[in-house]
Amino acid sequence: MPSSPSRRSPSLRSRLRGGKPRSSRWAGAGTPVRAARAACMSRRRECAVRPGSGWVPLRALQRSRNILRAAGAAAPLFLLLLLPRPARPRPLPPRPSARWFSREHFWRCLIGRWAVANSGVARAGGARRGRCRSYLHAGRAWGCGVAPFSRPLAGARFTSHLHAARRRGAMAAAYRHGGSAPRGRAGAQRGGEKKCSWASYMTNSPTLIVMIGLPARGKTYVSKKLTRYLNWIGVPTRVFNLGVYRREAVKSYKSYDFFRHDNKEAMEIRKRCALVALQDVKAYLLEECGQIAVFDATNTTRERRDLILNFAKENAFKVFFVESVCDDPEVIAANILEVKVSSPDYPERNRENVMDDFLKRIECYKVTYQPLDPDEYDKDLSFIKVINVGQRFLVNRVQDYIQSKIVYYLMNIHVQPRTIYLCRHGESEYNLLGKIGGDSGLSPRGKQFAQALKKFIEEQEIVELKVWTSQLKRTIQTAESLGVTYEQWKILNEIDAGVCEEMTYAEIEAKYPDEFALRDQEKYLYRYPGGESYQDLVQRLEPVIMELERQGNVLVISHQAVMRCLLAYFLDKSADELPYLRCPLHAILKLTPVAYGCKVETITLNVEAVNTHRDKPSLNSPQVGNACLGWLA
């Protein structure tokens, strides 16, 4: 006798595709969520489904694991299609029970379980996998680790979704309870977590950059500059300077005798400092979401480099060496006078004594210096040799994409004195109306600024000045008043506002209230519908940074968002600070690169203009809170 229809369960295919089941008892269970509800009810659980509330019981979530295990790799394709995305936010229940999940949380948990079940990345020293914790409706952070998945589908498609789910739940919980966003160990700062969510596209494993070279060869200059660039493009990077560890271990420096190779006690101290620094490197790369660590030290002996290689092998780090070689006495002397005289090693000493002691220190290192040998001993290593501050380069065995970017960047920088001028176009007609984007011309005050800019440039008497503009009308009109040759760059155009082009902020808030609130909540990552985000703009401006590093004196006439991105690179600003840097109209920023940074001078030309700057909104702003709740609706 055939089984009763009331006892027949829907097939797996029917559950996943949302088709109508054969059984009358299962009629209306057109989605896996309803199927899970019906399964729970048929088992006579002590909970009742709330009709129309959008909530499913915890037992349904636990039972649905069997569906995913049977579905295998095809499950996430159906799950993504079933993720609801309502246009407007709706309020959450005031006090939901821990036994109930919102429908969106239900599907995110299922996707997370599938991703964890299909992932497995093991490293030397311990496995590193995505971890799934209970995701309570209270919004506490549930998610997975940031380690890449073994399958391309899981790694490429689900990592960003899971990070977004965790961030949304955490932010919603914070605003509901009146606190700030929770910060886990993997992201001590919101900016760090923000970068970690997409920096893994550039690196598939942590990389250790090891500097090599005698003192006063520009190693610290290169390491700081390289770190600034990598952080700007979104790769979390940190410098570990061994001199800082040495000064902590030895409070008072007396003379160059500390660096003699026959000083056994000092050699032991220096080795211990190196081991402590390497342990900090390990903690940063494995526990603090770092992607690249720069080990800034002389590392002149093969014994020390072998120690570093063994350390990297134990922790599954890639190693890339950067050796700075310089035999130009003028460059060495200039470096000593500019940097080493003000070093903490030489407090209250005159220049003659500092120069004499430091030259003797260099001689101590020369006794044991073993350069990289590309022909025999070091032929299998990945490295670049920078000879005489960029006159020549020797590149050997580049392993991956990020190493190729490092090589390309190092081949573009130079140490020649120069000045970079950044300014916005003159005030435009759309600036007067409060509109963003567009391609309007200059206002009368904007034309007045263009004439004042011409007078300023003539007074500076800048040698071989190059002028760059965007391809928009307002920057071209500003440059034409200078009476000099200028170059137009399309990538210098203002950030694309998409559907919000040529609208005022009041119009955007009225027409797109959710988008307006979301942009205030995450301005760096927010992308206009059909437009760009600041993160997209940074990637677009990378060729401009490369050309600026190659050039001498340059005047860049651009736009507010573009100028913020360029300024953030030179001033080493984080992703959270970048969208709120002040770049007013009718002002010039004079940037002068110095030893370990950039000197900034603001010059105002006394031509009035409207204020286009918007301050960072408060976290307690109702628009921000509603945006976070809308993400979960």
pLDDT tens digits for range 343-364: 888 876 777 888 888 999 999 9
Q: How many CB atoms lie within 10 A of CB 153?
A: 13
Annotated binding residue at 425? yes
Annotated binding residue at 427? yes
Which domains does the chain possess?
40-182 (no CATH), 207-410 (3.40.50.300), 420-632 (3.40.50.1240)
Please measure the distance between the N-terminal and C-terminal CA atoms of the chain and give it in whole angstroms: 47
Q: Tokens in use for 148? A: 């890449």
Region of residue 44 (phi > 0: left; psi between -120 and 50: alpha; otherwise: beta): left
Q: Tokens in use for 313? A: 């092998």
Annotated binding residue at 397? no
Average pLDDT over residues 230-251: 94
- Global confidence as pTM: 0.70
Asked if residues 348 and 357 have their Cβ atoms less than 8 Å apart, the reply is no
User: CA dihedral in degrees (50, 55, 59, 62; nearest 10)?
Assistant: 160
Lowest mean pLDDT, pick from 19-23, 180-184, 446-450, 627-631: 180-184
State residue 111 phi and psi, 5-degree precision. -65, -40
269/276 Cα distance (integer angstroms)? 11
pLDDT tens digits for range 523-573: 999 999 999 999 999 999 999 999 999 999 999 999 999 999 999 999 999
67/33 Cα distance (integer angstroms)? 12
Asked if residues 469 and 476 have their Cβ atoms less than 8 Å apart, the reply is yes
Residues in the chain: 633
Residue 318 has pLDDT above 50, yes or no: yes
- DSSP H helical segments within 126-260, as ranges? 152-153, 159-176, 190-199, 219-232, 242-249
Annotated binding residue at 507? no
Annotated binding residue at 474? yes
Active site residues: 425, 494
What CA–CA distances, in Å, run from 632 to 175, 462, 625? 12, 56, 11
Annotated binding residue at 426? yes
- DSSP H helical segments within 32-74, as ranges? 32-42, 58-63, 65-71
Q: Round the average pLDDT of the chain to a whole number and report it.
A: 77
478 closest CA partner among 324, 604, 486: 486
pLDDT at 338: 82
Q: How many CB atoms lie within 10 A of CB 115?
A: 23
pLDDT tens digits for range 112-164: 544 444 443 333 333 333 333 333 333 333 333 333 333 333 333 333 444 44
